[in-house]
Structure 1
Amino acid sequence: MTTETVLKRKIPSSGELLPAIGLGTWQTFDVDDDAAARAPLKEVLKTLIAKGGRVIDSSPMYGTSEDVTGDLSTELNLNEQLFVATKVWTTGKENGIAQMNRSFAKLQRKKIDLMQIHNLTDWQTHLRTLQAWKEEGRIRYLGITHYTESAYTSIENIIKNNTVDFLQINYSMLRRTAEERLFPLAQEKNVAVIINQPFEEGELFQRVKGIDLPEWAAAFDCHSWGQFFLKFILAKNAVTCVIPGTSKPHHMADNMEAAFGKLPDENQQKQMLRLIEQLKK
Structure 2
Amino acid sequence: MITRREYLKLSAAAGVALAISPKRLLADDSPRALVTRAIPGTSEQLPVVGLGSSASFARVAGEGDAARIRDILQTLVREGGRVFDTAPGYGASEEVAGRVAQEAGIADRLFWATKLNVAGRGGGQADPAAARAQLDASFARIGKSPIDLVQVHNLGDVATQLAILREARAAGRVRYIGLTTTFEQQYAELERHMREEDIDFIGVDYAVDNRTMEERIFPLAQERGIGVLAYAPFGRRRLWELVEGRTLPDWAAEHDIATWGQFFLKFVASHPAVTVATPSTSQPRNLVDNLGAATGRMPDAAVRRRMVEYIEALG
Query: TM-score, structure 2 length as denominator?
Result: 0.85
Paired residue secondary structure (2:215): helix
Distance 1:50 1:184 in 2: 34
Distance 2:84 2:157 in 1: 24
Give CA deviations for 1:91-148 in whole Å, capped at 9, x if unaligned: 1211110111111112222321101000010111111111111111100000100012
- Does residue 156 (structure 1) correspond to residue 191 (structure 2)? The answer is yes
State the superposition RMSD in angstroms. 1.3
For 2:38, the equivalent position in structure 1 comes to 10
CA contact 1:29–1:69 (8 Å) conserved in 2: no
Paired residue secondary structure (1:200): coil
2:131 alignment partner AA: G
Given the superposition, is the C-alpha separation of residues 33 and 204 from structure 1 closer, same or farther in structure 2, using an over 3 Å criterion? Answer: closer
CA contact 2:62–2:91 (8 Å) conserved in 1: no
For 1:122, the equivalent position in structure 2 comes to 157
Distance 1:33 1:92 in 2: 26
Paired residue secondary structure (1:143): strand
- Does residue 29 (structure 1) correspond to residue 42 (structure 2)? The answer is no
Residue in structure 2 matching 1:170, options 205, 208, 211:
205
CA contact 2:60–2:68 (8 Å) conserved in 1: no
Q: Percent identity?
A: 39
Give the aligned length.
279
* Pairing of 1:38-53 with structure 2 (within 5 A): 38-53=66-81
* Pairing of 1:57-96 with structure 2 (within 5 A): 57-90=85-118, 91-96=126-131
2:190 alignment partner AA: I
Give CA deviations for 1:162-202 in whole Å, capped at 9, x if unaligned: 11000000000111010111111001101000000111112
For 2:215, the equivalent position in structure 1 comes to 180
Paired residue secondary structure (2:294): coil
- Does residue 265 (structure 1) correspond to residue 300 (structure 2)? The answer is yes
Distance 1:98 1:119 in 2: 19
Q: List runs of 5+ in structure 1 lacking aligned partners.
A: none
Give CA deviations for 1:31-75 in whole Å, capped at 9, x if unaligned: 45745x332222211111111110001111111111111111112
List structure 1 runs of 4+ shifted beyond 4 angstroms: 32-35
1:273 alignment partner AA: V
Paired residue secondary structure (1:239): coil
CA contact 2:139–2:147 (8 Å) conserved in 1: yes
Give CA deviations for 1:198-219 in whole Å, capped at 9, x if unaligned: 1111210110011011110011
CA contact 1:29–1:68 (8 Å) conserved in 2: no
Distance 2:185 2:297 in 1: 33
Paired residue secondary structure (1:142): strand
- Does residue 229 (structure 1) correspond to residue 258 (structure 2)? The answer is no
Given the superposition, is the C-alpha separation of residues 68 and 177 from structure 1 closer, same or farther in structure 2, using an over 3 Å criterion? Answer: same
Query: TM-score, structure 1 length as denominator?
Result: 0.96
For 2:121, the equivalent position in structure 1 comes to none
For 1:247, the equivalent position in structure 2 comes to 282
2:265 alignment partner AA: L
For 1:55, the equivalent position in structure 2 comes to 83
Distance 1:6 1:206 in 2: 28
1:10 alignment partner AA: A
